[in-house]
Chain A
């Protein structure tokens, strides 16, 4: 089973700053990786699919990069509504979807 490890567990930043979130896979997942945002009491929202493609309606300040085992979600300039929990997810094997444990982005 492919394990996704996200770092850091918690990231404390201020609005306007740049956020860099990491997701590392225990083996290559090619570009079969997505990123989600989840706010308290809400369902997750798809941000990035296939490692680097923004989902419909997602602001340009969100970008994804990487392939193989190392991936990054970057938020170029944090807005107040961006403070949430972020998950990466892979499906290199059709029969198995796994999520990372999440990174909590909090206001400093």
Chain B
């Protein structure tokens, strides 16, 4: 069974940093691209970042470019999101999600809440 479990969310002050982790199991992690997608309270889905299976290709939404860094450790079956210079508008549930082919996301974690507030 595919499982994605996020951790590392919490309350942080504006300008602060946080590192999210995602532990993957139930599939060959090193064969899949991975994504972070977020959802602000009561709002829709917003893609944050993607990383290819071997980390060769990395992409970011304009809203986080230069502040967030995605990475993965295939030996540990883990995905990460380093978030710096956090802003109030980064407040959201952050989902770790597995890529399916070019377009889709077929498995999602349950999410971890990040709250940026003073």
Q: With A and B bound together, what is the CA distance between A38 and B103 in angstroms?
A: 18
**Chain B stretch 16-55: residues in CB contact (< 8 A) with chain A:** 35, 44-47, 50
Partner of A95, one of B44, B59, B95, B104: B59
Residue A99 at the chain B interface, CB threshold 8 Å: yes
Chain A residues whose CB sits within 8 angstroms of the CB of B44 once the complex forms: 87, 99-102
Residue B12 at the chain A interface, CB threshold 8 Å: no
Q: How many residues of B contact A (CB 8 A)?
A: 22
Q: Shortest Cβ distance from B98 into chain A, in angstroms? A: 10
Chain B residues whose CB sits within 8 angstroms of the CB of A101 once the complex forms: 44
Which one, A10-18, A19-27, A43-51, is touching chain B? A43-51
Q: Would you give the 0/1 interface string for B88-105, flagging 1 where the beta carbon is closer than 8 Å to chain A? A: 000000010000111111
User: Closest residue of chain A to B93, judged by CB?
Assistant: A43
Chain A residues whose CB sits within 8 angstroms of the CB of B106 once the complex forms: 46, 49, 55-56
Q: With A and B bound together, what is the CA distance between A90 and B104 in angstroms?
A: 8
Chain A residues whose CB sits within 8 angstroms of the CB of B14 once the complex forms: none
Partner of B103, one of A34, A44, A87, A100: A34
Q: Shortest Cβ distance from B41 into chain A, in angstroms? A: 12
Partner of B104, one of A38, A50, A98, A100: A50
Q: Judge whether A97 and B110 touch: CB under 8 Å.
A: no
Q: Judge whether B103 and A90 touch: CB under 8 Å.
A: yes
Q: With A and B bound together, what is the CA distance between A45 and B106 in angstroms?
A: 7
**Chain B stretch 66-118: residues in CB contact (< 8 A) with chain A:** 95, 100-111
Given contacts A43-B95, A44-B108, contact A49 B45 (CB under 8 A): no
Q: Shortest Cβ distance from B15 into chain A, in angstroms? A: 27
10 contacts between A and B (CB under 8 A): A32-B103, A38-B45, A44-B45, A44-B105, A46-B105, A49-B100, A91-B102, A96-B59, A99-B46, A102-B44
Known: A34-B105, A46-B100. 20 other contacts (CB 8 A): A32-B103, A36-B45, A43-B95, A43-B111, A44-B105, A45-B108, A46-B106, A50-B103, A50-B104, A55-B104, A55-B106, A87-B44, A89-B105, A95-B59, A96-B47, A96-B61, A97-B35, A99-B46, A99-B47, A101-B44
